């Protein structure tokens, strides 16, 4: 089992390059199920979740040739319609194959994802939308069995809640449905927008891209002529590295980022006193005399992202005063709090609200455990401010979504060692 070891007193210097967005690449890869041709994808992040999605698509019959940051993939060869439990259990986003498989083949079997570290995370909204498009859905032995013998039918769907992968699934399903779908209360995340743009470039008539109402004219099971594209920059990786500058209160930059996707995050850095400078795709964070406390409510895009909550909590441990975070999207996304408190932070949780009390300005290095992808990065951030060595266990969570972590930190002059426990 691998772990990370981080020495204290390390300050960033220079700049780090931001990779392509995992959460954009996953639905885009799933969308190749709808394709009649091979395409090239650039700026692909080299993280395990991408390899998991490719493994799944490969099992379904897709052909691909992957290099570190680019690949070609041909979804037209897909001939299986079953996404098995052993793969879905390792990555919830496998559910993104449900909509396109059903739309293309008129039937599929996709394992239910089950629970995860940040809450129960149901897929009821995905299923209800597909039923409204004429699908018959039963749950059997932990699998979603979906059938639409004559193809999915366009429908007007009002999402009860804004769901990112739910929107993406139904956008893909609508693209190959018979007739027009109107999707209301759709997620507006940049990753959803890129999916719409790629489908639109493939010839699907999609109106309202970037708004919460989409009108999609389906092709009636005619496969799409997809075009090559490059994945948008990862706004969560970008925000996380800016937090390295923030928690250490040191000037540093990120490159190849898209600042327009980061407005809510950059505004919070400003409220905490940090200077932010944007030049083309480079964002520089400047130190402040005093790190001010912050109030954050996580919400859907363009609001403050839940995926940046843990990292800002880490920065708030260094603020002068009491910070408050209200996690509105997931019911159990404070697993990292216990670990931060073990490092000496003073954080109390009451329901969805976490209060980071008048924080100590130094934390204690100790052995801590990653609990989910973003929580792991908040532990690295705190380790940089600890007064002794920190070790972080269960780092497979990190590898799911942060590319080449040790090298990227090394680019910032920060040494993170990846070690392995002896077997005995």
CA distance 186 to 60: 28
CB nearer to ligand UD1: pick between 122 and 134: 122
| Catalytic annotation, pick one of 116, 243, 378, 382 | 116
In the bound complex, what is the minimum distance in angstroms from residue 91's beta carbon to ligand UD1? Answer: 8
CA distances to 221, 317, 381 from 312, rounded to whole Å, are: 45, 9, 10
Which residues are bridge partners to 233 per DSSP?
20
CB nearer to ligand UD1: pick between 3 and 330: 330
Q: Which of 122, 179, 287, 321 binds ligand UD1 (CB under 6 A)?
A: 122
CB nearer to ligand UD1: pick between 9 and 124: 124
3-state secondary structure of 62: coil
When computed from its CA atoms, the radius of gyration of the chain, rounded to whole angstroms, is 22
Please report whether residue 262 would count as binding ligand UD1 according to CB under 6 A.
no
Q: How many CB atoms lie within 10 A of CB 336?
A: 28
CB nearer to ligand UD1: pick between 53 and 242: 53
**Selected range binding ligand UD1 among 34-42, 102-110, 121-129, 215-223, rule: CB under 6 A:** 121-129
CB nearer to ligand UD1: pick between 36 and 161: 161
Which parts of 327-366 interact with ligand UD1 (CB under 6 A)?
329-330
In the bound complex, what is the minimum distance in angstroms from residue 39's beta carbon to ligand UD1? Answer: 20
CB nearer to ligand UD1: pick between 123 and 382: 123
CB nearer to ligand UD1: pick between 94 and 219: 94
CB nearer to ligand UD1: pick between 168 and 339: 168
Pairing mode of beta strands 282-286, 275-279: antiparallel
**Selected range binding ligand UD1 among 10-18, 116-124, 250-258, 363-371, rule: CB under 6 A:** 116-124
Which parts of 95-114 interact with ligand UD1 (CB under 6 A)?
none
Please report whether residue 38 would count as binding ligand UD1 according to CB under 6 A.
no
Please report whether residue 309 would count as binding ligand UD1 according to CB under 6 A.
no
Q: What share of the chain is helix, strand, coil (3-state, %, to 5)?
A: 35, 25, 40
Q: Which residues does 351 contact at the CB level (< 8 Å), separation at least 6?
A: none
Please report whether residue 307 would count as binding ligand UD1 according to CB under 6 A.
yes
Residues touching ligand UD1, count (CB under 6 A): 20
DSSP letter at 150? Answer: T
Which residues are bridge partners to 145 per DSSP?
109, 138
Please report whether residue 26 would count as binding ligand UD1 according to CB under 6 A.
yes
Give strand ranges (E) for 337-413. 347-350, 353-356, 367-369, 390-393
Per-residue interface string for the shown chain with ligand UD1, residues 123-152, x marking contact by CB under 6 A: xxxx--------------------------
94 dihedral zone (left: phi>0; alpha: psi -120 to 50; beta) = alpha
Please report whether residue 93 would count as binding ligand UD1 according to CB under 6 A.
yes
Which residues are bridge partners to 64 per DSSP?
73
In the bound complex, what is the minimum distance in angstroms from residue 161's beta carbon to ligand UD1? Answer: 5
Q: Which residues does 83 contact at the CB level (< 8 Å), separation at least 6?
A: 56, 59, 60, 94, 97, 98, 101, 108, 109, 110, 111
Helix axes 22-31, 98-105, angle to 10 degrees: 10
Q: From the centroid of its chain, how far is CA 180? A: 29
Which parts of 153-192 interact with ligand UD1 (CB under 6 A)?
161, 163-166
DSSP letter at 86? Answer: H
3-state secondary structure of 115: coil
CA distance 196 to 74: 19
In the bound complex, what is the minimum distance in angstroms from residue 146's beta carbon to ligand UD1? Answer: 14
Active site residue 243: no
CA distance 57 to 80: 9
Do the Cβ atoms of 391 and 3 come closer than 8 Å? yes
**Interface contacts to ligand UD1, rule CB under 6 A:** 23, 26, 93, 119, 121-126, 161, 163-166, 305-307, 329-330
Catalytic residues: 116
């Amino acid at each position: 089992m691998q772990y990370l070891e981080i020495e204290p007193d390390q300050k960033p210097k220079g700049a780090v390059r931001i990779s392509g967005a995992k959460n954009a690449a996953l639905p885009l890869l799933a969308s190749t199920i709808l394709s009649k041709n091979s395409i090239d994808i650039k700026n692909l992040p080299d993280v395990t979740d991408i390899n998991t999605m490719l493994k799944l698509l490969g099992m379904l019959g897709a052909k691909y040739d992957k290099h570190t940051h680019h690949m070609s993939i041909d979804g037209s060869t897909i001939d299986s319609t079953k996404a098995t439990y052993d793969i879905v259990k390792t990555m919830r986003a496998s559910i993104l194959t449900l909509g396109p498989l059903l739309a293309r083949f008129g039937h599929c079997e996709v394992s239910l994802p089950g629970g995860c570290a940040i809450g129960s995370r149901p897929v009821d909204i995905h299923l209800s939308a597909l039923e409204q498009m004429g699908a018959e859905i039963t749950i059997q032995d932990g699998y979603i069995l979906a059938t639409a013998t004559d193809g999915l039918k366009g429908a007007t769907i009002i999402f009860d809640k804004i769901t990112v992968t739910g929107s993406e699934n139904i956008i893909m399903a609508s693209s190959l449905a018979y007739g027009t779908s109107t999707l209301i209360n759709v997620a507006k995340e940049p990753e959803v927008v890129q999916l719409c743009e790629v489908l639109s470039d493939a010839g699907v008539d999609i109106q309202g891209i970037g708004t919460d109402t989409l009108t999609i004219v389906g092709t009636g099971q005619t496969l799409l002529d997809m075009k090559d594209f490059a994945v948008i920059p990862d706004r969560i990786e970008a925000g996380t590295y800016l937090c390295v500058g923030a928690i250490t209160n040191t000037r540093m930059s990120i490159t190849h980022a898209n600042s327009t996707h980061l407005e809510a995050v950059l505004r919070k850095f400003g409220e905490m006193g940090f200077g932010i400078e944007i030049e083309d795709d480079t964002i520089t964070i400047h130190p402040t005399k005093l790190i001010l406390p912050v109030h954050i409510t996580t919400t859907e895009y363009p609001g403050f992202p839940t995926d940046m909550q843990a990292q800002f909590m880490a920065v708030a441990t260094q603020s002068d005063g009491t910070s408050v975070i209200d996690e509105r999207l997931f019911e159990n996304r404070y697993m990292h709090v216990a670990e931060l408190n073990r490092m000496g932070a003073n954080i109390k949780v009451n329901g969805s609200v976490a209060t980071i009390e008048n924080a100590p300005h130094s934390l204690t290095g100790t052995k801590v455990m990653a609990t989910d992808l973003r929580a792991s990065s908040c532990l690295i951030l705190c380790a940089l401010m600890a007064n002794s060595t920190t070790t972080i266990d269960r780092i497979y969570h990190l590898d799911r979504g942060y590319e080449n972590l040790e090298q990227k930190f090394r680019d910032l002059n920060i040494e993170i060692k990846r070690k392995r426990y002896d077997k005995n």
